[in-house]
A and B are shown apart, each in its own frame.
Chain A
Amino acid sequence: MGRLSWQLGEVVTTRAETARTKSITLAVPTWMGHQAGQHVDVRLTAEDGYQAERSYSIASPPEEAPHVTLTVERLDDGEVSPYLVDELHVGDKLELRGPIGGYFVWEARLGGPLLLVAGGSGIVPLMAMLRHRAATSSTVATRLLYSSRSFEDVIYRDELDHLKSSSTMLEVVHTLTRVQPPGWTGYHRRVDSEMLKEVAWPVDQHALAYVCGPTPFVETVAASLVSLGYDPGRIKTERFGPTGEV
């Protein structure tokens, strides 16, 4: 381990996931590996020396190292995200340090069953976990509850469909809170206790729960899981801050 040091990655691919979200894959020659759920700090330096730093969850599984993928949502009043989403292109270099955070991680050997609850861009670290699960051919029973504003806002939509149909023991449940496509038969409201009661693993399964998204979302979900009887020690949360509603 040791002191975190700044590493330089080169953008090898970029991919628009939704209108506001982009995945950026970096080749990082000095990368020491990571666990699903960890994040990196990204640092931008302007010519006049001005610097801005932000944290982003790693979207790629450890199996893809030394490639590291970040999925960034463009915040309108952001300073770093507009640069990453609009400006950065293949061939550019980006400074990052990490991986950071040993608490909000999942490895296949931790088992399950697994309950993943994502609000908006909170899906990113949970996607790293799902990709790691797939890469290790793990059969850990997993349920993902993913809240998005609309069908068009669902990040990794096609890949989640593919994982669901090609993997045993994986269920993906979407809820679209603002707008639903014609014929939508799924949930169409914000995640609440009732929904969790229907989707979450029964308490006697002693599932491991990972909840990620905007702070109010995480607090509602974590509190609901606790009141359903989940052991708080088996609920791990990663709040992204107050931005946005999902």
Chain B
Amino acid sequence: MSEGFISRGFRRRHQQGDESGRIPPGQYLERGFPVLSAGPTPHTPLASWDFSLLGKVDQPKRWSWDEFRALPREKVTKDIHCVTKWSKLDTHWEGVSLDTLLAQVTYNASYVVAFSDGGYTTNLPLDEVMEGQAWVVDTYEEKPLEPQHGGPARLLVPHLYFWKSAKWVRGLRLVEKDEPGFWESLGYHNHGDPWKEERYWGD
């Protein structure tokens, strides 16, 4: 931010960092769960919801809500880090590993573009959403994921800044060439590793 007139007696509200080493540089511990929205909250009825794998796949694969719910599921506990500087530790999710989903298709791609209801997109290297690094989750803290937090289902990729964990996710498009998504094309870092503080272009 630019220089400003120092306001007498003004202090930042949140203390940064912590000793446990679990809070990445520049982040502060948040006990709530802030809702950031770039548009109206979608309310897709479960009867019309589906999740698809498309693009550089031999055959596109689609799961309806019931089919998705019947897949092998996992419970995971993860720390999440938002580029707006809040971090939340030990969040509890339940859903389907992307490994389970990707195992059902034959593909030839290096990147994925996650797409959501409402038009949001985010891009990731394919090898960073495999091997236990990513899930499609529908349950948060033992309850169905609320629409304002991305329900019925969102992507969860906790090792990257939370904008990569696309809310209201409806599928992944597998691609050969990387395609910057909604924020990545607007000044935010293409990769987004919180431990390297990859927040913005040029970081």
Contact = CB atoms under 8 A, between A and B. Distances in A.
Contact of A47 (B1, B3, B6, B13): B6
A45 B7 contact: yes
B5 interface: yes
A79 interface: yes
A238 interface: no
Contacts of B10: 44-46, 52, 83, 87
A45 B6 contact: yes
A46 B12 contact: yes
A46 B7 CA distance: 6
Nearest to B14: A79
A8 B7 CA distance: 11
A46 B100 CA distance: 49
Contacts, number: 44
A106 to B, nearest CB: 29
A9 to B, nearest CB: 10
A83 B4 contact: no
A83 B8 CA distance: 10
User: Could you say which interface size class chain A belongs to?
Assistant: 10 to 19
A175 B6 CA distance: 41
B5 A50 contact: no
A94 B10 CA distance: 11
A216 to B, nearest CB: 14
Contact of A50 (B8, B9, B12): B12
A95 B1 CA distance: 14
B5 to A, nearest CB: 5
A49 B4 CA distance: 8
Interface string A156-179: 000000000000000000000000
Contacts of B7: 44-46, 83, 92-95
A204 interface: no
A6 B13 contact: no
Contacts of B4: 6, 43-45, 51, 95
Contact of A49 (B1, B5, B8, B9): B1
A194 interface: no
A48 interface: yes
B196 interface: no
Interface string A93-107: 111000000000000
B11 interface: yes
A24 to B, nearest CB: 13
Contacts of B6: 45-47
A51 B13 CA distance: 11
Nearest to A49: B1
Contacts of A93: 5, 7
A72 to B, nearest CB: 14
Contacts of A48: 12
A46 B15 CA distance: 13
Contacts of A52: 10, 12
A49 B16 CA distance: 14
Given A45-B4, A87-B8, A94-B7, 17 more contacts: A6-B4, A6-B5, A45-B3, A45-B5, A45-B10, A46-B12, A47-B6, A48-B12, A50-B12, A51-B4, A52-B12, A79-B12, A83-B7, A92-B8, A93-B5, A93-B7, A95-B7
- Which 5 residue pairs of A and B lie closest in terms of their CB atoms, listed nearest first? A45-B4, A50-B12, A44-B7, A44-B10, A51-B1
22 contacts: A8-B5, A44-B4, A44-B7, A45-B3, A45-B4, A45-B5, A45-B10, A46-B7, A46-B10, A46-B11, A50-B11, A79-B12, A79-B13, A83-B7, A83-B9, A83-B10, A87-B9, A92-B7, A92-B8, A93-B7, A94-B7, A95-B4
